[in-house]
Amino acid sequence: MKIKIPEIKNKERIIWVSILILLVLVNIKIPFIGESVSAREKKNDDKYFNLFAGVYEIIRTRYVDSEKAVPDKLFYGAINGMLKALDDPHTAFLDTKRYEDLKTETTGSFGGLGIYLGKRDEWLTVLYPIEGTPAWNVGVKPGDIISEIEKQSTRDMSIEEAVSILRGTPGTTVNITILRKTEDKPLNFKIKREKIEIHSTASDLIKDSSIGYIKIKTFSATTARDLEAEISKLKTKNISALIIDLRYNPGGLLDIVCDTVDFFLTEGKIVYTKGRDGQILYEKNATPDILVPLTVPMIVLVNNYSASASEIFAGAMQDSGRALLLGEKTFGKFSVQEICQIDPGEGTAFRFTTAKYYTPKGRSLHEEGLMPDIEVKEQTFSEYETGMLLKLRRGKYIENFVSRYPEADAGEKHLKTFIEELTANNIDVREDTLRLFIKNERNRNKMPDAYDLEDDLQLREAVHLLKAYSILKK
């Protein structure tokens, strides 16, 4: 029986935190616990502290297994429970390993599999694998559900717990089980960990045009520097327009995304945040110096997986009128998290939501997302086509065809015969869909180009609009 994987509906909220980092961190300061408790609430606090102390004393002195009733385990368990009581997916306890992971995530280098993880309902979901990494090389795909890690169910596993298991020393292996819509059985992978180097940007000149294209994969510590280099490279080619691609960008660091926005704006707000009482906690404005002249038209590509810092970038571009947004509604994470260290000696900490951020025009669309100026849906397959793809996979028709005709020209010559063969086996697939499947199989283990104009409907529409604008303004 075909595995049933839940579809993403329009109003379904996807709660996820990327392996790379999805927090928008506000110039992280790390205060110690106990610095600030509201005086007017102290009396009520004392009541509950006393209740907690009473329970702690009973467990500490009378619990049957004294080795389990140790102070650190009890206190950290209590802290973890307190944070979970807030029912906020972006608020969590960080043990020593998870805290170290979080601190290294923004450096752009770590040991692991190379996947961006999210959480849909109760399941770990692959946002997408990083090109050229172990996960990419074995064939892990966007949308795959990781149902087990080392034979342990991930149904109620937090992102941090999953990261802690998936990461490890380069050269060691980890076993994962994947559920995929186009497969009728779970897929088991044994993947060797490697040092993951994340290149946060990529660029190229769109073929047969003077339109520059830049993909920003995440806003890590190196992104502003990387983006500046990509812009400088494109400027030597005399670009007349620019496309910034933020699709599948899970976010990153607040100060970094503000630096990148400042490359394109000369004045006005970029973003600001408000805390629990409505007070402004952070505000960033553009400076006069820019890298891309205001005369260069821009389009920013977004989709449902553009989140957090990506939405700051997109919101600033949209509100200022500097660029059009094209694609699909963004994820809708407009909250700000900070990190607070619990014990410097043990290296424990917690992250918690402290504010919401706002676009220059005062929009905070948490759990709503930004609507693009021009909505263009990504290419999807109908349930019927998905069923046909399942037949193709099961019969290894695509793999065998590509094996026989590894070169695109040879495959094209035999495509009609291939379609007849499939029809004889009761497999009905549109020719353009079949071409896409063949191309994907042929390129499965190759490093992808910076862009794919042939099959990327959103990018193709952006190029069409910029070319039309260039003609009209003459």
Task: Choose, from 262, 329, 333, 335, the residue flagged as catalytic.
Answer: 333
Mutual orientation of helices 397-404 and 431-442 as an angle, nearest 10°? Answer: 70
Mutual orientation of helices 309-320 and 254-261 as an angle, nearest 10°? Answer: 30
Task: Choose, from 259, 319, 320, 329, the residue flagged as catalytic.
Answer: 319
* Region of residue 151 (left: phi > 0; alpha: psi -120 to 50; beta: else): left
d(CA 379, CA 181): 16
């694998």: which residue's tokens?
A: 129
Q: Give the amino acid at 462.
A: A
Q: How many CB atoms lie within 10 A of CB 64?
A: 6
Q: What's the token pair of residue 181?
A: 């819509």
Q: How far is CA 63 from CA 55, 56, 58, 69, in A?
A: 11, 10, 7, 7
Helices (H) and strands (E) in the chain, counts: 14, 19
Task: Choose, from 306, 308, 310, 320, the residue flagged as catalytic.
Answer: 308
d(CA 292, CA 212): 11
Residue 228 has, within 13 A of its CA and on its CB side, a CA count of: 12
308 catalytic residue (yes or no): yes
Q: What's the token pair of residue 424?
A: 């004889």
Three-class HEC string of 296-351: CCEEEEECCCCCCHHHHHHHHHHHHCCEEEEECCCCCCCEEEEEEEEECCCCEEEE
What's the chain's length in residues? 474
Catalytic residue set: 308, 319, 333
